[in-house]
Amino acid sequence: MLLTLIRRELLDNLMTFRFAAAVFIMLLLVVANTVVLLKDYERRLAAYNTALKTHQDKVQELKAYSGYELNIDRPPNPLSIFNAGLDKRLGNQVRVYHAFVPTLWDAKMHGSDNPFLNIFTSIDIIFIFEVILSLIALLFAYDALAGERERGTLRLVLAQSVRRGHILLAKYISAMLCLLVPLLLSLFLAMILLTNNHSVSLSPDDFLRIGGIVLTSLAYLSVFYFIGMLISEVSRRTSTALMLSMFIWGFLVLVYPNMILAVMSPSRPPRAQVDSAMKQMEQIWEEFDRERKGFLINDPVPGESIWFKIGAVGGSHEHLAKRASALDVHFRTGLNLEEINERSEPQVPHAQNYFRFLEPRVISTAEKTWLLREQGLKNIFVKPASIDRILLKFSPVGIYDSATQAWAGTDLHGIRDFFDAARQHRQRVIDYFYDTKVFGTRQWFAGDKQAVDWNALPQFSFKRSDIGINTERALPDVCLLLLINVILFTVIFLIFVKSEV
Amino acid sequence: MIWHITKREIYDNLNSLRFALTTVLLLALMVTNAVRHLREHPKQVQRYRDAVAESLNQLTTHAEESLYKLAQYGPGNFYKKPSPLHFCANGSEPILPDTIKVDDPIVFGTVGSSDSYEETVVLHGIWTLSYPDANLQNKDVGPDVSQVDWGFIIGYVLSLLALLFTFDALSGEREHGTLRLMLANSIPRHTVLIGKFLGALFSISIPFTLAVLVNLLLISTSSEVHLTTEAWGRLGIIFCLALLYTSLFLALGLLVSARVQRSAVSLMILLLTWVTFVAFMPSTLASIASSFSPAVSFDKYWKQRNPVQEDLWDKYGNRLWSEASDEETLRAKSGFYIDKVDNSERRSEARLRYRSSQVHRARAITSISPATLLQHLIEAFAGTGFERHLQFVENTQRYARQLREFVVDTDRGDPESLHIINVREGMSQKPISPAAVPKFEDTFDLSQDFNTRAMELLLLGLFVVVLLSGAYLAFVRVEV
């Protein structure tokens, strides 16, 4: 019986104009935008490759170890075509050196594009799904019950020995099958475009991630179908149901996500908190500086200069850099000599002693401030952002968006993975420096005698988190969507069973 | 007769569910908009005032010291004045920079001996305008949402509501059979159509006007925000624009509703059209248009810049490093400073121009979508957005010229001066009264590029006329 019902509903739905229109518009938008998005991805990839090459060449030019400062680059995520998330917006190159713990907030952008073009909003495939799938689902659902009731066919069907639950189930299954057609067809075309593009390389894991995205889309689609069904059940007349579902669609998709963040107070970091964290970090560095100066005064060379009376060509710097906007205080000091005068040779060991003393302290102080900074950044940037995200999740659109971001790896976690890798790389470089006892050597600050073999240093590599972690991050949101589905179905079922026909 | 039909339509709508929901929705959005504006705007104005005061302070200090100091250090940074109508169109304000930096003189050369640490500056630059790039929001890890400004409320929400008001205007009556009844009377079809159009326009205007009034009431009662007469005039224009834009969607709704037999199908077509034109077309087209011309990379920019700089060094030669203060040396230095500034300003302006022509091209192409057209128009009348930014740049350039001329003129008035501008030994060392120095004021002038605005306005009007006549033709020929 259930099968008969499903078949009837399926035929009913497939032959309609709305089905044809839905398929057409989905294909049109998804294909057109995939082409545009692929082009954009290619551009970002090209910028990444150029940056990578420039930065590697720059390291090779360095003569002394102390100048080591590798700019590492974050490759664009190919799945950002599905959900761009934060992938395009957050910085994609960051400096790594021993005296500084890099974070997402220190990153810069590859500066090869026209930044003014960012005044145009950009869209991705998931955005199309968010808008169109929900609209189509509601348009399929609004007359599911109200229409049959008006025409009187519901009465006829129920006159047979059909369970009411079966009717609902049949309607649901057949509509979902129909809605799957535009979803899968458009995704299929997008995938063809994606796999035929030589600059996009998708790993097997990526296909699983896309599978996850499809599943989430299905759950999202079904939430909106249930919402439409509920409206259809409650409002009894098709015209009312249509009107109501369009208003609810407009509210959930268009109005709520934009309005709620404007209503809730803007998440500005509390001034006092920033100031106190900055002050604490400054104190730590000042203490370090006192220790440093103490060493310089007590050593055999008079004065506080870090040149130790070495006659040489080169440069030195020592300054405290402060940026309250990124909660960043760090001290930079260094000596970089290109040529040393023969006469000054006896002075060189003094400098060696100084750096042997100094650099381990720089590293430990940097790590001490990092503990403070990490906490501060979390309070000032991450917490308000996650509260905003939770507020957005009161609309299914927000849940869907954050779930697909998690699958694609373009959410905050995904981006921070890269910076975790950057920090790990820094740790490896420091370990290498300690192992080769490079701080006390002449090569640390002078590049005149022996060239540094930069290839011996650990190389940076970054791999996106594996599918298991993506699943772990996406699962709560997917479960939430499924839960909403179950609740809506139960409600509809209860109302439908009790209602008079 | 038209009036009768209109009245009937309005009565019909006033009792409907959609009218109630529309009112609630628009009110909620407009109140949100007002509250946000009242919270944000005073802070913004305060920031602007503080920044301007600081610049003015710098200017005064330099002027009081000497004319030379003023010529060397310039007026301090320029700040874009926040528009009081910021709530109408946000105009991608967070992305566009609100400052034009006045770079401090750079020290090019010092002369000193290795024994003493005392160094004498013999060569330095003078103040230079530099145009900052768009702010990339790369520190903000929060979710990406658009601002709830009038542009959003009218462009997206009101247009959708307009479709919901008209999708069943004709097809609904045809389904009920009342259209047949009405046309059985001696009413010409165009009268029915116009009556329906006006009815829908009035009934959607009521909640919209109400919401706008509440919004403006909230904003104008606040003591911190002052709207001038001119601002009210511009608000009036924006309101009329909103009605014109709404008419466009009403006409579209009538057109589809006249052609299609069933109202559900009509709504389906309308919504998909809306989604394509309003939600997707602007961003897709912008992406396509911006990829037409390649961006000039930063490296290339530097590569182009360096040879010209070297030419300058060659042109003036070793004279620049001399510590002597004979007239020829001073003239060489002065010429070098002026050429240098001229050069670097020209180059960074050319870069800005190239970039803005890219943006303009993308904006022109996206104008196919009426939503973008409306957004541009509201931005223009509210005094925000990209065009406004370019105007700000132009204002600063004009002021920079004015200030430089002022320095030359004042110097001419000092008999002790050698009239060699920008060099300490060649210029007037006398302090000048800060009141005499021209001050920078950022103004917003609508008439400047009214031509493009008029084009856009005409285009929007044309859309309405075409759609309305299309609706008329469709309705006249359709069988009831």
pLDDT per residue over B328-359, tens digit each?
Answer: 888 888 888 888 888 888 888 888 888 888 88
Give the gap in angstroms from C-alpha B279 to the nearest C-alpha of chain A: 9
Rounded to the nearest 10 degrees, how much is the dihedral formed by the CA atoms of A287, A293, A296, A298?
-80
- CB–CB contact B291 A384 (8 Å): no
Give the gap in angstroms from C-alpha B329 to the nearest C-alpha of chain A: 30
Q: Which of chain A's residues have a Cβ under 8 Å away from the Cβ of B33? A: 262
Question: Which of B31, B44, B164, B287 to mutate against chain A (most A CBs within 10 Å)?
Answer: B287
pLDDT for A68 equals 80
pLDDT for A106 equals 87
- CB–CB contact A90 B355 (8 Å): no
pLDDT for A473 equals 93
Nearest CA in chain A to B28: A259
- CB–CB contact B299 A109 (8 Å): no
Distance CA A307, CA A313 (A): 11
Q: Which of chain A's residues have a Cβ under 8 Å away from the Cβ of B356? A: 116
Residue B116 pLDDT level (bands cut at 50, 70, 90):
very low
Pick from A123, A48, A98: nearest CA to A418: A48
Any domain includes A426? yes
Same domain flag for B457 and B467: no
Does any CB of chain B come closer than 8 Å to the CB of residue A305?
no
Nearest CA in chain B to A25: B272
Same domain flag for B198 and B89: no
Measured between CB atoms, which of A117, A243, A388 is closest to B362? A117
- CB–CB contact A18 B297 (8 Å): no
Pick from A308, A311, A315: nearest CA to A355: A308
pLDDT in tens, B123-161: 777 888 888 877 776 677 878 777 889 999 999 999 999
pLDDT in tens, B307-327: 777 777 777 777 777 777 778
Any domain includes B57? no
* Residue partners of B474: CB distance under 8 A and separation at least 6: B255, B258, B259
Same domain flag for B204 and B300: no
Give the residues across from B103 on adjacent strands: B128
Same domain flag for A218 and A311: no
The residue range of the domain holding B443 is 83-139+296-461
Same domain flag for A213 and A245: yes
Distance CA A496, CA B369 (A): 43
Q: In total, how many domains does chain B have?
A: 2
pLDDT in tens, B254-277: 999 998 888 888 888 999 899 988
Measured between CB atoms, which of A40, A139, A258 is closest to B148? A258
Same domain flag for A131 and A276: no
Q: Tell me the percentage of chain B whose pLDDT exceeds 70.
A: 93
Same domain flag for B235 and B304: no
Q: Which of chain B's residues have a Cβ under 8 Å away from the Cβ of A123? A: 280, 283-284
For A384-423, give the DSSP string: HHHHHHHHHTTSHHHHHHHHHHHHHT-SHHHHHHHHHHHH
Same domain flag for B134 and B183: no
If DSSP codes are grouped into helix, strand and coil, which group holds residue B103?
A: strand
The residue range of the domain holding A338 is 60-120+267-465
Measured between CB atoms, which of B32, B283, B290 is closest to A121? B283
Any domain includes B68? no
- CB–CB contact A115 B358 (8 Å): no
Does any CB of chain B come closer than 8 Å to the CB of residue A64?
no
Same domain flag for B117 and B160: no
What are the structure tokens assigned to A489, written together?
A: 């179905």
Q: Contact, A155 vs A500, CB < 8 A? A: no
Distance CA B74, CA A12 (A): 76
Any domain includes B50? no
pTM reported for the whole predicted model: 0.90
Any domain includes A51? no
- Residue B216: pLDDT over 90: yes
Same domain flag for B374 and B411: yes
- Residue B118: pLDDT over 60: no
- CB–CB contact A29 B276 (8 Å): yes
- CB–CB contact A118 B136 (8 Å): yes
Same domain flag for B319 and B444: yes
Q: Which of chain B's residues have a Cβ under 8 Å away from the Cβ of A91? A: 136, 138
Same domain flag for A153 and A11: yes
- CB–CB contact A117 B283 (8 Å): no
pLDDT tens for each residue of chain A, 501 residues long: 788 888 888 888 888 888 898 899 999 999 999 998 998 898 889 889 988 888 888 888 877 887 788 889 999 999 999 998 888 888 888 988 888 899 988 888 876 567 788 788 878 899 999 998 899 999 999 888 888 888 888 888 888 888 888 888 999 999 999 999 999 999 999 999 999 988 888 888 999 999 999 999 999 999 999 999 999 999 878 888 988 999 999 999 989 988 888 887 655 667 788 888 899 999 999 999 999 888 888 888 777 777 777 877 777 778 888 888 888 888 888 888 878 888 888 888 888 888 888 889 999 999 999 999 999 888 888 888 888 899 999 999 999 999 999 999 999 999 999 999 999 999 999 999 899 888 888 888 887 777 778 888 888 888 888 899 999 999 999 999 999 999 999 999 999 988 877
Q: Contact, A485 vs A226, CB < 8 A? A: yes
Same domain flag for B415 and B442: yes
Any domain includes B427? yes
Any domain includes A116? yes
Measured between CB atoms, which of B139, B358, B366 is closest to A326? B139
Measured between CB atoms, which of A89, A255, A384 is closest to B137? A89
Same domain flag for A381 and A290: yes
What are the structure tokens assigned to A360, written together?
A: 């381990």
To the nearest whole number, what is the mean pLDDT of chain B? 85
Burial of B445 (0-12, 13-18, 19+ CB in 10 A): exposed
* Residue partners of B312: CB distance under 8 A and separation at least 6: B336, B339, B340, B343
- CB–CB contact B33 A262 (8 Å): yes
Helix or strand run (H / E) with residue A332: strand A328-340
Same domain flag for A330 and A356: yes
Length of chain A: 501
Same domain flag for A232 and A345: no
Any domain includes A50? no
Q: Which of chain B's residues have a Cβ under 8 Å away from the Cβ of A111? A: 297-298
Does any CB of chain B come closer than 8 Å to the CB of residue A341?
no
Q: In total, how many domains does chain A have?
A: 2
Burial of A294 (0-12, 13-18, 19+ CB in 10 A): exposed
- CB–CB contact A108 B138 (8 Å): yes
Any domain includes B333? yes
Task: State in Å, rounded, how far the first CA of chain A is from the last one.
Answer: 20
Same domain flag for B10 and B150: yes
pLDDT in tens, A142-151: 888 888 888 8
Indicate the residue type of B61: T
Same domain flag for A134 and A207: yes
Same domain flag for B403 and B303: yes
Does any CB of chain B come closer than 8 Å to the CB of residue A303?
no
Same domain flag for B349 and B450: yes
Nearest CA in chain A to B145: A258
Same domain flag for A131 and A243: yes
Distance CA B477, CA B258 (A): 9
Nearest CA in chain A to B164: A243
pLDDT for B460 equals 92
For A77-92, give the DSSP string: PGGGGT--TTTTTS--
Question: Which of A117, A387, A389 to mutate against chain B (most B CBs within 10 Å)?
Answer: A117
Any domain includes B60? no
What are the structure tokens assigned to A297, written together?
A: 């005064």
Of residues B294 and B91, more confidently modeled: B91
Q: Which of chain A's residues have a Cβ under 8 Å away from the Cβ of B249? A: none
Same domain flag for A372 and A488: no
Indicate the residue type of A108: K
Indicate the residue type of A268: R
- CB–CB contact B265 A18 (8 Å): yes
Same domain flag for A287 and A224: no
Any domain includes A369? yes
Same domain flag for A235 and A342: no
Give the gap in angstroms from C-alpha B350 to the nearest C-alpha of chain A: 13
Any domain includes B231? yes
Distance CA B39, CA B32 (A): 11
